[in-house]
Chain A
Amino acid sequence: MPIIETQGLTKVYNSDQVPVHALNGVDLNIEKGEFTAIVGPSGSGKTTLLNIIGGLDNPTEGKAKVQGTDLDTLSDGKLINFRLHHIGFVFQAYNLIPVLTALENVSFVMQMQGRSLEECKTKSIALLEEVGLEDKIHKRPSELSGGQQQRVAVARALASKPDFVLADEPTANLDSVSTAELLDMMLELNEQEDMTFVFSTHDQRVIDRARRVVTLVDGKIDSDEQR
């Protein structure tokens, strides 16, 4: 069974009375362990697709299933809980909680899951070591570089032991060195821990290293290339 499955996914926004088709019948299956980039020009529907797969938005038509669960059937509260336990998010602007340290940011989702403080701390330190930030665990986001913040964001995304990680333009604000380091780290996690990553990106450096590239044009899949 695919970890992510979409059937005839359509999203129509009614902007100024003119319907805009952000997605137009997208059928997409993603298996466990894939390292997939969703690419396409601006307005092609990449972020909308990720939002629906991530349970942040509802499709106008069609279905989005994660691990066989139709997200549309879940209530708001259950959907939030589902995201907490099954999906890791990495955002373009890092989006760490500014008043928490790196350690506390990573620990935050685990505490929301109700795990013990001791477990949260041990696991968070291990994750921060894994992303190479063992010497920055007590730093707040404002004291970290963009690349370091994005690494903390990846550690946070992995902290809940998700089924997969959704990353919306994760390298858009990073320089080449930080981008390369982040990609190395995520590929390592993908290879060693079989973690599934799905990106939306414009960044050719990310596209070059993705193992599968799905291209969206005008809300439809234009090409789906396995490497």
Chain B
Amino acid sequence: MLYLRLAWRNIWRNRRRSLITMFSVIVAVLLASVMRSMQEGQYDMMIEGTVGTFVGYIQVQQEGFWDDQTLDNSFVAGDSLLAILNSEKEVSGVVPRIQSFALAAGEEQSRPAMVIGIDVEAELQLINPQEKLRSGTYFSDNNEQAVLLGKDLLSRLQIQVGDSVVMLGQGFRGQSATGLYEVKGTVSVPNAELNKSLVLMPLQTSQYFLAAPNRLTSLSLVVDDPGEIESTIQQLEAKLSAAAYDVMSWEEMLPELQQSIEADRGSSYIIIMILYVVVGFGILGTVLMMITERSYEFGVMISIGTPRMAIAAILGLEILFIALLGSGVGILFSLPVAWYFNINPIEFTGEMAAVMESYSLEPYLPFSLDPSVFYIQAVIIFIITLLFSFIPLLKASKLNPVKAMRS
């Protein structure tokens, strides 16, 4: 308590210097928090756009399917498996799919296609084709003999909504797969390649087409909190350990997305570190001034019996107060900025908007309000303060009292 009181009063002895040092910390934390909030908001949107509304944060597959994506690695989802998945706390929906490759042919053109058989009702929680329709209408039931095409596939096949398309491929265990289906409409999904090759088919229709009745290639799980994916996967793996299933996270299924986010994060960390190193030198300057100005006083304190560690502790607390006050105020200032841009995202126009829309991403940038974006700044300031103050504090604690009082 005595140390805290001394440290608190000492930082106000040179009010101007303390305020300038705090101000540098405030500016650094404000800039870093806002920058990180913007970036994380962008990443969240990218992930939500591709993962949350297409792949799913978690998928359960037959063991080995991911490495060898053929129907031979499909499975029948029994009631016990579905019961386990539905009983998981974070799982709010289970979306069955069967996926294969085929050739889609119009009257004049044919193109390779990715066929995804979807449960018409359940899929509204993930891809939600109804919302992504560019033209036509959505399926009415799982037996409908119709398909929805990726928006660019329709033009590549040179056909129109209402025309028929011939699907030709290989079904379960090498059986031939053929069928003629009405094109009910087109969808736009957040992946340019998929828009050129996607064929959505009602689940039972696709299982019949692929000669794989009741079989699935994946169960995508809708999770309430994407932050709980790791623990949910661990729990599911434990529960499904006896069965031959793989529980995969979106990071495993879309490593390129994860890597591009990590690479972008890495470059921003470098900028932030430069910012903080500059602040660190500001703190170092303050510590050195504090020690130089007060070496006489420290000499007296050591003379009357103050332990050297107490001197270091008092000085350390002073620096910590300045750093934590600065980072606290910096975070307080950055919160309304992030909150404002979270509610009123930055809107893109012109070419940038067109590029984003081509990936089916909304042309705006919402800021993230994830608490870790903000409190991590205080942690970094704490570490930088320790690093930059350690040696000066050590020197202060080793002062020779006689020399210090002569200075």
Contact = CB atoms under 8 A, between A and B. Distances in A.
Q: Do the two chains belong together in a single complex?
A: yes
Interface of A: 51, 54, 56-57, 76-77, 80-81, 83-85, 87, 89, 91, 95, 97-100, 104, 108-109, 111-113, 156-157, 160
Contacts of B9: 99-100
B402 A56 contact: yes
A16 to B, nearest CB: 16
Interface stretch (B15-23, B180-188, B299-307): B299-307
Interface string B277-299: 00000000000000000001100
A54 B304 CA distance: 10
B402 A80 contact: no
Bin the interface of chain B by size: 20 to 34
Given A97-B297, A99-B13, A111-B2, A84 B402 contact: no
Interface of B: 2, 5-6, 9-10, 13, 296-297, 300-308, 310, 401-402, 405
Nearest to B1: A117
Which 8 pairs from chain A and chain B are nearest by CB?
A: A84-B305, A99-B9, A95-B300, A83-B305, A57-B402, A56-B402, A111-B2, A56-B401
A117 B260 CA distance: 59
A97 B307 contact: no
26 contacts: A51-B402, A56-B401, A56-B402, A57-B402, A77-B308, A80-B305, A81-B307, A83-B304, A84-B304, A85-B305, A87-B305, A89-B300, A89-B304, A95-B296, A95-B300, A97-B6, A97-B297, A97-B301, A99-B10, A100-B6, A112-B305, A112-B306, A112-B310, A113-B305, A157-B304, A160-B305
Contacts of A83: 303-305
Main secondary structure of the interface of B (DSSP, over half): helix
A51 B400 CA distance: 12
Contacts of A80: 302, 305-308
A85 B305 CA distance: 8
Q: Chain A CB within 10 Å — which of B6, B302, B303 has the most? A: B303
Given A98-B13, A108-B2, A77 B300 contact: no
Contacts of A85: 305
Given A97-B6, A111-B2, A89 B13 contact: no
B238 to A, nearest CB: 52
A97 B306 CA distance: 12
Contacts of B303: 54, 56, 83, 89, 91
Contacts of B296: 95
A212 B325 CA distance: 56
Nearest to A107: B2
A184 to B, nearest CB: 24
A56 B297 CA distance: 15
A91 B300 contact: yes
Contacts of B5: 104
B2 A77 contact: no
Given A87-B305, A100-B9, 13 more contacts: A51-B402, A56-B303, A56-B402, A80-B308, A83-B304, A83-B305, A84-B305, A89-B300, A91-B405, A97-B6, A99-B9, A112-B306, A160-B305
Contacts of A51: 402
Contacts of B308: 76-77, 80
B6 A99 contact: yes
Nearest to A140: B9
A116 to B, nearest CB: 12
Contacts of A108: 2, 306
Nearest to B300: A95
B297 to A, nearest CB: 7
Nearest to A113: B305
A80 B296 CA distance: 17
Nearest to B294: A98
A83 B305 CA distance: 5
A95 B294 CA distance: 11
Contacts of B402: 51, 56-57
Nearest to B302: A80
A185 B310 CA distance: 32
A95 B13 CA distance: 16
Contacts of B307: 77, 80-81, 112
Contacts of A77: 307-308
Contacts of B302: 80
